[in-house]
Structure 1
């Protein structure tokens, strides 16, 4: 084969691969009986998520040939372990995705609202006799906006806005708030566990007037405040 013809063939193959990958981007809802509210969302940046939230939490996805690979974590008996799921793509046509599972089952999914257009609102709260933490978030794809309120016993109360991102099961955002008569900005991080968010803590530095974590790898969620999902109140 001549070099130029080979070049054209490679370009054509790459274009087909990109088209196949782009075609699976979106929110896919299972079409089986009594399971219309289950499925997964795949975005263009390779981030995946399962809905509704459960024991399995997808984080990333990739295409290898005809196989859709979903990578994430699985919670079982109080512990978390890596989880990988492979679906062989049989066909994608007219917003319908047909796949074959590893054990030979054929499943059909229907594309609903595109993940880039989806806007989800959720609220979480931690409440005791003396303490209240309230988290309100609006999620559009991986972007997060919202507000956060702390009312902790013998500490200054503060309320402010959130602006951040979600990656897998982790929410990382800048929290802009007023405390002691002045405006402040600090990083906050929360780990998603089922229908809860657990706040993380770690060493911090001051950077350009903001309080940021020194190293995201050194953040701990042990003994962090756990916020449970609740109804959003106006």
Structure 2
């Protein structure tokens, strides 16, 4: 066998391995930008089903491969009614433990993990969090059961009525989305609240709201801003 023939066969073998559909199934994660200890990604099941790992409100439910393209389909729960999502990603390379995808010219390297559920539970190192400024304070207590969240929320703002109540919702990727039921001046109210995971802490976000069936909800969850939100720092629960 000549050297040229050997390298040609090696090249063909490499192409066959790259196109092996079995290689691309599994749990693929990459580091979350600005959160060095947390990862996000997706799971590709053998039967064509898919699921998300820490992808905010984006929920994948199926996938397919067309030549060098990976097509992920699902919905965006951050949009009213859960708008359809179709992400078409170019496969640059795939091996047993690494996957490189390109989306709009940006390449992202993923690694395979055997325990994706741990990546979500590892988000929680505290159950109690507090926000403090010169005159204002707030307290958040959360309990997790899978991705379901319950807990308490209390605000004490200067020259404003204090309000205390309970929250119930769920974790969507790195975002906690819940309904806050509270009493203020003897009246019970319910409003939607959103918190973004920031390392070991949470940041409360704000956005335009509307009344819907007696509940104050965000007009568009995807436009909730956390840039100037309240930063809740993890503390030991009292």
**Which bin holds the TM-score, normalised by the shorter protein?**
0.5 to 0.7
Q: Cα offset for 1:139?
A: 2.5
TM-superposition CA deviations, 1:12-58 (whole Å, max 9, x none): xxxxx9xx96x759xx9xxxxxxxx98779679722139xxxxxx9x
Whether the 8 Å contact between 1:116 and 1:140 is mirrored in structure 2 is no
Q: RMSD of the TM alignment (CA)?
A: 4.5
Counterpart of 1:159 in structure 2 is 164
- State which of 206, 226, 235 in structure 2 corresponds to 1:231: 235
Whether the 8 Å contact between 2:54 and 2:172 is mirrored in structure 1 is no
Counterpart of 1:132 in structure 2 is 137
Alignment of 1:140-159 (within 5 A): 140-159=145-164
Alpha-carbon separation, structure 2, partners of 1:169 and 1:112:
14
Alpha-carbon separation, structure 1, partners of 2:146 and 2:165:
22
Q: Do the aligned partners of residues 221 and 111 (structure 1) sit closer, same or farther apart at CA in structure 2, a change above 3 Å counting?
A: closer
Counterpart of 2:204 in structure 1 is 199
- 1:170 matches 2:175: yes
Gaps of 5+ in 2: 1-20, 30-36, 44-48, 73-88, 101-110
Whether the 8 Å contact between 1:60 and 1:168 is mirrored in structure 2 is no
Calculate the TM-score normalised by the size of structure 2: 0.54
State the secondary structure of the residue aligned to 2:127: strand
Counterpart of 2:53 in structure 1 is 48
Q: Cα offset for 1:126?
A: 0.9
Higher relative contact order (CA 8 A, sep 6+): 2
Calculate the TM-score normalised by the size of structure 1: 0.55
Q: Do the aligned partners of residues 39 and 149 (structure 1) sit closer, same or farther apart at CA in structure 2, a change above 3 Å counting?
A: same
Whether the 8 Å contact between 2:123 and 2:200 is mirrored in structure 1 is no
Q: Do the aligned partners of residues 233 and 24 (structure 1) sit closer, same or farther apart at CA in structure 2, a change above 3 Å counting?
A: same
Alpha-carbon separation, structure 1, partners of 2:198 and 2:123:
21
TM-superposition CA deviations, 1:147-191 (whole Å, max 9, x none): 111111111111111111222222211001111112111011122
Whether the 8 Å contact between 1:165 and 1:173 is mirrored in structure 2 is yes
Alpha-carbon separation, structure 2, partners of 1:150 and 1:215:
24
- Number of residue pairs the alignment of both structures matches: 176
Q: Do the aligned partners of residues 128 and 60 (structure 1) sit closer, same or farther apart at CA in structure 2, a change above 3 Å counting?
A: same
Alpha-carbon separation, structure 2, partners of 1:232 and 1:69:
44
Gaps of 5+ in 1: 1-16, 29-36, 51-56, 71-83, 91-98
- State which of 192, 207, 214 in structure 1 corresponds to 2:219: 214
Point out the structure with max Rg over C-alpha.
2
